[in-house]
Amino acid sequence: MSELKLISQSKSFDGLQITYSHESSSTKSTMRFGIYLPPQAQTQKVPVLYWLSGLTCTEENFIIKAGAQRVAAELGIAIVTCDTSPRGLAIPGDSDSIDFGIGAGFYVDAKQAPWSTNYQMYSYVSRELPEVIAANFNVDAKRAGIFGHSMGGHGALTIAIKNPDRFKSVSALAPICAPTQSGWGGKALLRYLGDDPTAWNEYDSSALIKERGWKDEILIDQGTEDAYQTNLRPDLFQAACAAAGVKLNLRYQQGYDHSYFFVASFIEDHLCFHAQRLK
């Protein structure tokens, strides 16, 4: 396992907000992640939540904008944030648009060249990063949840549904719920995975929930003034959950858009939702 390199560390609500880099075996690149360790982690193993961010984000957006540290400290939960793609690889076309390439890994394992060598974000989030966290920090890997926003909400839902042994709880804010039927998802899945629809369905939460179900309630918040709803399609995920008999609490929040102001407004609800299931 690769050595962690400290980037920054700050005390926050008697816990620590830390950022590291390491050499990833999944992406074959240098990856960065943040971890908030609540004060309880000084004396005992604590539950851990993995946050996945949306398009154009890094590991830093949630750390700075979500305002989660106070509540995480009160609940005694660690929060891990990771980058949204490999960086620094200079793959032709990786920075041509905001919805593909750098900052837009879509949490899939790419099958198409030249992306397949490095763009293995599904493996990184579902396997490698949890192993790194469990080996280096005072967290209880058996009490892990996952949540995210937009592209990261898509990632959280698909990763949880496919890994119920590793993640005990899942929630999302304005997630891309049916990427096979949206402009954002369709472009990325075609270029990362090729034109096989079976491969696409492996990263579509609305398709996956019908096939695999989920053992507990799922919480999703969606703003009514979100300009990207045609790319998100929570209605399709709602229908799929109903067909699969999965309990979904889909809350439409009046007047909220797609920004981190929306995320920060409901982050406490999501942390409490996970805390109830991980404790």
Cite the active site residues. Answer: 150, 226, 258
Q: CA 86, CA 126: separation in Å to the nearest integer?
A: 15
CA-based nearest residue to 263, from 82, 107, 66: 66
Residue 49, token pair as written in the block: 């939540």
Peptide linkage before 114 cis (omega within 30 of 0): yes
User: In which region does residue 3 sit, left (phi positive, over 0), alpha (psi from -120 to 50) or beta (all else)?
Assistant: beta
Sign, CA torsion 76/125/248/255: positive
3-class secondary structure per residue, 40-100: HHHCCCEEEEEEECCCCCCCHHHHHHCCCHHHHHHHCCEEEEECCCCCCCCCCCCCCECCE
Residue 222 CB partners (closer than 8 Å, separation 6+): 173, 174, 229, 232, 234, 250, 251, 252, 253
